[in-house]
Structure 1
C-alpha cells in the first residue's frame, strides 16, 4: 500500500549557501473517473489507495446511494485505465442530471438563506448524539492521528482523517484531497456497517463549509481539527447541531460550536 502512495525523485536543495543533490519522497497523484450506470459521473484526483471505499463514500455523500449492500449491484476498479465502474440496483439518471445544480434553500428549517448543492440538503443530517469527550481526549486523538500517518511523515503532502471513539482511533485514512480522505472513511463505514452517530471525526485540515457538510453527511456529531474553521462552516455547524473544535495543537483546544459536548 505504501508503494502506491509515495514515490521518490532526485531534487536539488539549497541549504546555508550550498546546493546539494538528494533523493526526496513525494506523494503520488491519481485521476479516477467514476462511470455510473454507463454514464461518466465525476473525475476525482486522489491518492491511489482504498479507491473502492472512496467511490462508495463519494456516491453516498452525493445522495446517489444510502446503503452499500442494498444500493450497489457491482463496483469494479480498473486502476490501469483509471476508471471505477459502478452499477446501482435502481436507475438514477435524474440524479446524474442534477448532480451539479444549485438552489437556494434554508438550512435545517432556519430563516437564514444560503447556497447549498441540492444533494447537500437531502443528505446532510442534524446530529442528535449525546456523546461527550474531554479536552484531554481531544488532544490525545489529534496526537494519534498525526503520529499514525507514515505517508504524511514521509511527504508532508496529504490530509489525514479518522473515525474515533473518545478512547482512540477506529479507522484512519489519508489522501491528497481533504474530501477524498473523508469519503474513504465514509465508504469504509458503509461497507462494514459501522454506526457513526456516537463517533468523533478527527481531521488534519481546515474546517470549511464543504468539510462541515461532509461530516454531517457521514453522520458524526463532533468534528475535531488541527486547523482553523471558516465562518460559514460554523454557521452550518450551529444549524446542524455539530460540535466543532479547531487549533488542537499541543495543549490547546478552541471550541467554536455546541461546546456542551466537550467537558473538563
Structure 2
C-alpha cells in the first residue's frame, strides 16, 4: 500500500479549547499515464498503487483489450511528476487502440473525460445474461461491512473510495482503493481478470454513488449484481436494467433499495450460485 502523507493542520475543536495544531494523514494523488506502443493514450489522476491492476482494468473498460492475456507486457516507470505505464499489446489488439483514441488529462476518477462523441459515452452495454447468482438480504449487509474492513487507506485518511468483489459464502475476494471511484473499480476489474476470476460468481460492491460508468464497468466484469452505499443516477438505473444487472443501493445496515432485477435478492433463503 502506498503510504499517505502526513500534513500539518490547524484544528478547531470548540469543546476542547478552540484552535490547536495537529497532523492529518492525506492520500497521494498523482498523474498516471497509460502508454500503448510508446504513445500516451490517457492520463488519469489516481492513487499510485496496484498499478498493474489499473493498467489491465483500464484497458478492459476502454475496450482496448477483451482479456488480460491480450496484454503482452506492462512496464511501470516512476517519474518525479507521476507514473508512466508502458503497455505492450498483442498484435491482434492494436487495431482496437486505433479505433478508440482518448488523448486526455482526466480529473480525479473522470471516466468519460476526453471521449470523442456522445455515442461513445452512451455506448450500449452487453447483457450479463441469466447468471445464477442469488443473494440474501444478509449478504447485502455483509458485503458492505466486509468491504469496510478492507479499506486500510480510507481508515487512515477518510478520503478514498473502494470497490470490492463479494462472493456469497466466501466474503470479499478482492478489494481496491483509490482517490477516484472509477479508478478503484478499474483496479478491481484488473485484479479479477489477472487472477482469472469469473465475474459472474459474485457482486461488485462500491463505497460511492452509482453513475453510468460504474454500471458499464460492472457489465464488463460480468457481475450480475452491483451493490453501493450511495445512490444511483437515473441513467445508471436504466443502464443496469438494460444490462440485466441487479442494482442495489443506499445500503444502510440491513436496509437498502433494489432498483432493478429484484428477483436475484432472496429473503429468508441462503445465497447460492446455480
TM-score w.r.t. structure 1 length?
A: 0.89
Q: State the Cα distance separating 1:93 from its structure 2 match.
A: 5.3
User: For the residues of structure 1 that align with 2:5 and 2:20, how far apart are their CA atoms?
Assistant: 20
User: For the residues of structure 1 that align with 2:165 and 2:263, how far apart are their CA atoms?
Assistant: 20
User: For the residues of structure 1 that align with 2:89 and 2:248, how far apart are their CA atoms?
Assistant: 37
Is it true that 1:240 corresponds to 2:243 in the alignment?
yes
Aligned-CA RMSD value: 1.6
2:66 maps to what in 1?
66
1:180-199 aligned at under 5 Å gives the runs 180-199=183-202
1:152 maps to what in 2?
154
Is it true that 1:221 corresponds to 2:224 in the alignment?
yes
Q: State the Cα distance separating 1:30 from its structure 2 match.
A: 1.5
2:75 maps to what in 1?
76
3-state SS of the aligned residue for 2:164?
strand
TM-score w.r.t. structure 2 length?
A: 0.86
Match of 1:14 among 12, 18, 29: 12
Structure 1: runs of 5 or more not aligned: 105-115
Is it true that 1:92 corresponds to 2:106 in the alignment?
no
User: For the residues of structure 2 that align with 1:83 and 1:162, how far apart are their CA atoms?
Assistant: 25
3-state SS of the aligned residue for 2:31?
strand
Match of 1:102 among 88, 106, 117: 117
3-state SS of the aligned residue for 2:52?
helix
Match of 1:164 among 152, 163, 166: 166
Q: State the Cα distance separating 1:218 from its structure 2 match.
A: 1.3
User: For the residues of structure 1 that align with 2:90 and 2:39, how far apart are their CA atoms?
Assistant: 15
Q: State the Cα distance separating 1:137 from its structure 2 match.
A: 1.0
For the 8 Å contact 1:6–1:151, the answer to whether it is kept is: yes
Matched residue count: 247
Q: State the Cα distance separating 1:198 from its structure 2 match.
A: 2.3
2:104 maps to what in 1?
none
1:229-252 Cα offsets, whole Å, 9 max, x none, are 111000011111100011111221
3-state SS of the aligned residue for 1:137?
helix
Q: State the Cα distance separating 1:94 from its structure 2 match.
A: 5.8
3-state SS of the aligned residue for 1:92?
helix
Structure 2: runs of 5 or more not aligned: 102-114, 268-274
User: For the residues of structure 1 that align with 2:118 and 2:212, how far apart are their CA atoms?
Assistant: 16
Match of 2:259 among 251, 256, 259: 256
1:24-55 Cα offsets, whole Å, 9 max, x none, are 11111111111111211000111111001101
For the 8 Å contact 1:243–1:256, the answer to whether it is kept is: yes
Q: State the Cα distance separating 1:79 from its structure 2 match.
A: 2.1
User: For the residues of structure 2 that align with 1:68 and 1:206, how far apart are their CA atoms?
Assistant: 27
For the 8 Å contact 2:65–2:96, the answer to whether it is kept is: no
User: For the residues of structure 2 that align with 1:229 and 1:103, how far apart are their CA atoms?
Assistant: 20
